[in-house]
Amino acid sequence: MKLSSLRRPDLIGWGTRLPALRRPYLMGWPSRLSALRLPRRIGWRDHGIGAALGTAYVVALLATARSIGFTRDESFYFRAATSYFGWWHMLFARGVDALAQSAIDGAWSDNHEHPALVKTLFGFSWGYLHERFHVFHDASTSYRFPAMCMAGSAIWTTYIFGARAWDRSAGLVAAVLLALMPRVFFHSHLACFDVPMMAIWIHCIYVHWRAQQRGGVGWAIATGVVFGLALETKHNAWMIPAVVVPHALFVHRHALVRGLRAGRLALPTSLVSMAVIGPIVFFALWPYLWNDTLARVQWYVNFHLNHNYYSIEFLGRNVGGPPAPKAFLPVMVLATVPAITILLFAAGAVDRSFDAGRRVRAALLRRRDEPPRADRSETDLLLALSLAVPMVPFFLERTPIFGGTKHWMTAYPALALFAGRGFTIALSALRRALPKLDGRAALGTRTALFTSVVLAPLAVTAHSTPFGLSAYVPLVGGTAGGADLGLNRQFWGYTTQNAAEEYLNPRAPRGASVFIHDTTLGAWTQMQREDRIRADLIAVGAPHEAQIALLQHELHMNEVEYAIWVAFGSDAPAYIVRHDGVPIVSVYRR
């Protein structure tokens, strides 16, 4: 292999030996293969790759959507989404009538503790893809579809981010490892806000990053718009300024200092855009705020600043109120993110830390011989902030446990990007270790390396479905290991569907009454409408009213199990839904 042939500036693929593609014996279609070659510059073809990754993810989510029952929160959002869509329908049909406060409040008061964007998307998807065009047979899939698409978009953006920041292999591995985090995969199915928030977070960080790189009004406006969409997605968006403001100020520090010396404050355009356009988008897309605006915004902010806490098992103890145990976040990350992803992340992070340390040292020593800084957009700093900021609140004294890992999922794209960087280092080390390999052997070796890092996450993620909240990674012993450690088994009562599939549907007497425990009546009813649960079964709210009682295992739910013992006069379940032998739902029968 001649070096000269590799120096073609316009040809490169992720780790592929491009000259080999020119050999006619490869496939005999040199002209077609050349069309597949990727130019060195990251561009629309990479967006094609990112879109393909995202689409594949959405397909995987759709393929597994029916295996996951409905969570408590989804049942509320289904209802709110339908209500919001109804308002839009009224707006198109009856114009200004829909703008009366009574009409707005009637439709938008439902679930007004969360912004409207994502639920509006759920509603439009339901209205068009289920009700009108029958694209989806299940209403629930149509509600869930926008969140799945946003998950796919997060994969897409992560790929592009990694490809632009480092190289295509980093982008590819980052995107795949993000997709193959079991908890991310689970939450990506749901008509909830957590994965959409993760998606809009990385979109916002990416657009902000591009705005720093490219400058210009277009990217700045885009940053403001995306930030507004983030604000309209979930309140986690309040933390985005803590990422982008210090980053932008650092990027533009020299200009800022120069401006201050000249007696003027020159703020980065993107920040101004975020400050101006962001709130406008937030306000414009949430009709509930169009009346009594200040009072309602204040209520919304107060609701989340004084949010109640949820009970969750951690290391065998039930914890709830603030402060959350300091070990909660690190332990849960290690227990739920595949170890290979963490390892690659550590490598990437160490690599970037060395680099940063060297630059700081050089700056302190004012070394003139140090090469000029290439990355003027300070990517490492941005990603470090994007990783750290979503996690910091969980170490504060006032922060309770709101739930599981989903509340810091916004950090995971950055974690995956550092992991992608770690893979690039491994790839580089492989090349140094095996300098004589070329052609197909080299390609095979690199493919094997890629396979070795994605196989375990793929297997673990696939196996975790549909018990995504119960499953833990092999580092802690899998699902049983998580149970040994006393980690939370589940929440939201969504595993009733599994109990139905394994026990209720085949074995319950006709018309039996079922105590549905943590499942909401809305979720139960929707599962019956979609033939997930037999329609003749009757949901009841108390064990003593039931012939069959379900108990979704969570530590603090034990009191409900004891109530079942008293009501049924027996402590022996008739059946247990298990994952890897660990009880998920106990089914009691009179």
Partner 1 sequence: MTRLESECSIAVVVTAHEHPPTDSGSWQAWWAAIIPVAGLLELGAHCVQTCSVTPESDWKAARDYVAAQATSDDLIAFAPRWADPLGREYFGSDLATIEREARADESRFPRAFEVSIRGAHLGALADWTRDAQRRFGAVLVTTWRNPAPARVLDDFVAMVNPERLQVSIVQGNRETDCAFVGAAPVLSGGLGAGQAVPARRFTCPGGGLVATSIVADADYYPHRCIYAPPAGGASLVRLRFLGVAMGHALRGHQGQYIETDTSPQGPLVTITFRVDESIVGQAVHRAADGWKPFEFDTTRLAGRRADIVVEVGVSKGERYPYCFEANTR
Contact 309, 402 (CB under 8 A): yes
Nearer to partner 1, 406 or 553 (CB): 553
Answer yes or no whether residue 325 interacts with partner 1 by CB under 8 A.
no
Answer yes or no whether residue 89 interacts with partner 1 by CB under 8 A.
no
Q: Could you count the other beta carbons within 10 Å of the beta carbon of residue 413? A: 29
Answer yes or no whether residue 581 interacts with partner 1 by CB under 8 A.
yes
Answer yes or no whether residue 567 interacts with partner 1 by CB under 8 A.
yes
Contact 524, 532 (CB under 8 A): no
- On the 0-12 / 13-18 / 19+ scale of CB atoms within 10 A, 537 is buried
- Considering only 110, 138, 375, 501, the residue that binds partner 1 (CB under 8 A) is 375
Shortest distance, position 229 Cβ to partner 1, whole Å: 26
Shortest distance, position 518 Cβ to partner 1, whole Å: 7
- Considering only 351, 501, 502, 530, the residue that binds partner 1 (CB under 8 A) is 351
Indicate the residue type of 360.
V
Answer yes or no whether residue 166 interacts with partner 1 by CB under 8 A.
yes
The string of DSSP codes covering 555-584 is: GGGHHHHHHHHHHHT----SEEEEETTEEE
Using DSSP's 3-state secondary structure scheme, residue 39 falls into coil
Largest Cα–Cα separation, the chain:
83
Shortest distance, position 223 Cβ to partner 1, whole Å: 18
Using DSSP's 3-state secondary structure scheme, residue 375 falls into coil
In whole angstroms, give the CA distance from residue 449 to residue 422: 12
Shortest distance, position 172 Cβ to partner 1, whole Å: 12
223 token code pair:
């940053």
In whole angstroms, give the CA distance from residue 395 to residue 407: 13
Shortest distance, position 42 Cβ to partner 1, whole Å: 7
Answer yes or no whether residue 211 interacts with partner 1 by CB under 8 A.
no
500: phi > 0 → left, psi -120 to 50 → alpha, else beta; which? Answer: alpha
Binding residues for partner 1, total number by CB under 8 A: 114
Q: 464 to 493, contacts with partner 1 by CB under 8 A?
A: 473-475, 477-481, 483-484, 486, 489
Answer yes or no whether residue 52 interacts with partner 1 by CB under 8 A.
no
- On the 0-12 / 13-18 / 19+ scale of CB atoms within 10 A, 498 is buried
- Considering only 22, 40, 253, 367, the residue that binds partner 1 (CB under 8 A) is 40
> Burial letters for 112-135: b for 16+ Cβ neighbours within 10 Å, e otherwise?
bebbbbbbbbbbbbbbebbeeeee
- Considering only 72, 112, 463, 534, the residue that binds partner 1 (CB under 8 A) is 463
Q: 400 to 459, contacts with partner 1 by CB under 8 A?
A: 422-438, 442, 448-449, 452-456, 459
Q: 216 to 275, contacts with partner 1 by CB under 8 A?
A: none
Answer yes or no whether residue 565 interacts with partner 1 by CB under 8 A.
yes
Q: 505 to 534, contacts with partner 1 by CB under 8 A?
A: 515, 517-518
Answer yes or no whether residue 377 interacts with partner 1 by CB under 8 A.
yes
